[in-house]
Structures are given as structure tokens and as C-alpha cells.
Amino acid sequence: MRYAIVTETYPPEVNGVALTVQGLEQGLRSRGHEVSLVRPRQANEGATASPHEFLVRGAPLPRYPGLRLGLPAARKLVAHWQEKRPDAIYVATEGPLGWSALRAARRLGIPTSTGFHTRFDEYMRDYGAAFLAQTALRWMRRFHNGADATLVPTRELQQFLQENGFNDVVLLPRAVDTRLFDPARRDPALRAQWGVDDGGIAAIYVGRIAPEKNLDLAVRAFRELQKSRPDARFVWVGDGPARARLQQDNPDFIFCGIQRDETLARYFASGDLFVFPSHSETFGNVTLEAMASGVPTIAFDYGAAREHLRDGVHGAAIADGDDAGFVRAVVRIGNDLALRAAMSDAGRAAIADLRPEQVAADFDELLQHLANRCPQPVSPPAGTKGSGPQPNREVA
């Protein structure tokens, strides 16, 4: 089969969407399919693209240094796909390039699926524009309802979108590379660099350092832990617009910047407690990465935590809005070595069967289902779709 994937973000950019899209692309290739990748040209990137890539113009994304939006390119995509027509298309992002891809696909009658990766409605609240939350939701609904299926990573999100007028919402569960993220990568030398010995505690946060991540709560929880464990250290892996202020206000915190691949896995495994206070994750790949690394996780009970994290067994899954409960969990688990050891083993075991190969097979099955449908060469009315996978369909 010949597939096309359209995304506005891709490695070496580091974020959950980029890494998830790369995993899906590599999974399809490993199954013997031809995959064309459509993305914006990244900053400082040369003019020559890889043979399987189709690069378009991009522009910097406001408030997200290092990321770029793909500019509208519908005509170019029509010409490109007329020359080398894909059997099905996956559009991962809702930016101008994503909209262009949907228009081009409809014009050519190519079956298309979209991925729901980011809760932009929640971001409106995090950035002080809560009054735009419903507008953002309507905008996303119009985008995703222009495709034949919308892929989501959790049952919770599937239900939310169905209740809010999204059509053909298909569950595609996520996985984690347990060969990469492994407790065996724990590194005493790295912990020593952090000032943590065998009996010490390294709390760790991995992700974008930005307002939407609710990081003030992480700081508050860690400071409470420090009252009983003054030897505790807080390690931050990642970057973002809130880093400078956070670093200035907390000179004892350890900021490690963006880490990738084996180095990131080593940082994860060298922590004792993963503190993840975000309210706005669509999924939260880092939750699975922490569990795979044998690190007890404190997170709010939605996304990946709702799907995979058992409260009191693998860490703590806190009811949304219960900030005091989040703080108590950090203090309680941080002070109990035996409990952390039990949670480490249980968390690792809980996700041992989440295999990326199965995700690739499920994704392939969905795209083949779309490709085998009779294409609709005429664009449907705005806001509607042709028949696609049933709304309650689960690929698993």
C-alpha cells in the first residue's frame, strides 16, 4: 500500500506529537508499505529533502520557539498526489498545512484520517483566554469532521468527542518502547551529578516547560516533600517559555534541557518519582515512559493515567482539580521507599504488553479499511463526512 502522512511537527523537534507521528510512520514502513511524509521545512534545514519527504514552506509558531507551522499548500499537494496518488492519508495536525491536506484529499477523492493530538480548547484556558475554549472546540470539530475517521488514544477522549459532535471517532491505543525505557538504565553516576546518593530522592519532570503544564503545582508539591526530605532534588528535563522564570525563582532545581533517545531513557530511569501535574494532555506519552522506566508516577486521572495508571499501585492518579491531593501523594510516596519499590515493579509490569508493533498493525488495518472503501471524488457539504468506520469502532 502507499500511504501519506501530513504533519506540522516532526523530529528533531521534540514533543509528543512529533514523536508519535514518527513512530506511526516507522511502524508502517516496517510492515512493508510505502510512506510519503509531508511536513514544513524546518529552520536551518537544507534544500534537499529525503526521497520519501515532500517539504512545504513554514513559519514560526508563536510562543513555541523551534516549531513551525506549515503554510497553506493545497495546490501543491493536489499536484503532488496526482503524480503519486496515495491509497490513504493520515493528517496529524490541525494547522494550515493540515487544512490544505484535507482540501486536497477531498478534491482527489482520497480517503483520509486525522489524529486528535492536542486539546487546544484546554490551552485557551491555560493561556488566559478561556472565553475562546468553545470556539477552539468548534474549529477542531469542523477540521476533524472533514475526514473519514478521527483517531484518538483513549476511551475517555473518544467519549468526549462523540458527545461534542465529532463523527467517526476511532480508538487507536498507544504503546511504549520498553526496550528503550527500562529500569536497567538507572545510572548512579548521573544521580551523583544531581547530588543524589543511593538513599536520596530525585523527583523528575519531563516535558515542555510551559504554562499549560500547570508547573506551579509541581513546585508546590516538591517544596512540601522537601520539608520532610531536605535531601530531595528536583530534576527538569525539557525546555519552553516558562523555564527562565522557573529557573530564576528556584535556583536549587536542576535543569537538563531537552534529552533524546537513550539519554532520555537514562534520565527517566535515574529518577525516583515522576511528578506530572498537567491538566491539558490529550494523552501524555511521558506517563508510559515513566512507568516503563520503573518510576512511580503522580498525575491527574485522565489521558494515559486514566488508561494505564492504577492509583496506589503504580503511583497516584489524582482526581482532576484536587491539587491538595496531588501534593499529598508526592509527599506520601516520596517518603516511602518500600512503596516506591513496589510501585516501580508494578508499573513496569503493567505496560509490558503495550507493543509499538501492535499499534502499527492497528494503524495499518485502519488505513487499509479506508483505502478499500469506494472513494468519494466530490467534496461533501461543509461539516459532513462520507461513511467511515463506525463511531464506536475500536482498533486494538
Sign, CA torsion 205/13/51/375 = positive
pLDDT tens track for 319-359: 988 999 999 999 999 999 999 999 999 999 999 989 999 99
Provide the residue count of the chain: 396
Chain centroid to Cα 136, Å, comes to: 19
In this prediction, residue 125 has a pLDDT band, given cuts at 50, 70 and 90, of: low
Report CA-CA distances (Å) from 4 to 26, 33, 36, 91, 310. Answer: 12, 10, 5, 8, 37
Q: What is the mean pLDDT of residues 62-66?
A: 63
178 or 120: which carries more pLDDT confidence? 178
Q: Is the pLDDT of residue 107 over 80?
A: yes
**Which band of pLDDT confidence, cut at 50, 70 and 90, is reported for residue 119?**
confident
Question: What's the confidence (pLDDT) of residue 325?
Answer: 98
In this prediction, residue 381 carries a pLDDT of: 38
Measured distance CA(273)–CA(226) in Å, rounded: 13
Q: What percent of the chain has pLDDT over 90?
A: 78
Question: What pLDDT sits at residue 389?
Answer: 41
Q: Given this model, what pLDDT does residue 282 score?
A: 83
* Mean pLDDT of the region 206-232: 96
> Taking 70 as the threshold, does the pLDDT of residue 7 lie above it?
yes
pLDDT band at 93 (very low <50, low <70, confident <90, very high): very high
pLDDT at 11 over 50: yes
- pLDDT above 70 covers a percentage of the chain that reads 90
* Cα 311 to Cα 319: distance, rounded to the nearest angstrom: 10
Beta strands at 233-237 and 254-255: parallel, antiparallel or unpaired: parallel
Give the pLDDT mean for 78-94.
96
Query: Which pTM value belongs to this model?
Result: 0.86
* CA atoms of 59 and 42, how far apart (whole Å): 9
Which pLDDT does position 138 carry in this prediction? 93
Using pLDDT thresholds of 50, 70 and 90, give the confidence band for residue 45.
confident
Are 199 and 267 spatial neighbours (Cβ–Cβ below 8 Å)? no
In which order are the strands placed within the sheet that holds 149-152?
Answer: 53-56, 34-40, 2-6, 88-91, 112-115, 149-152, 169-171
Distances (CA, A) of 352 to 211, 301, 343: 32, 21, 14
Q: How confident is the model at residue 375, as a pLDDT?
A: 52
All structural domains of the chain:
2-175+356-371 (3.40.50.2000), 183-350 (3.40.50.2000)
Assess whether pLDDT exceeds 60 at residue 376. Answer: no
Mean pLDDT along residues 372-391: 46
Residue 73's pLDDT band, with cuts at 50, 70 and 90, is very high
Q: Which residue's entry shows cell 523530529?
A: 11
Contact 11, 18 (CB under 8 A): yes
Nearest to 66 by CA among 10, 120, 122: 10
Give the integer Cα–Cα distance in Å for 375 and 368. Answer: 13
**Mean pLDDT (whole number) for 155-167:** 95
pLDDT reported for residue 275 = 98
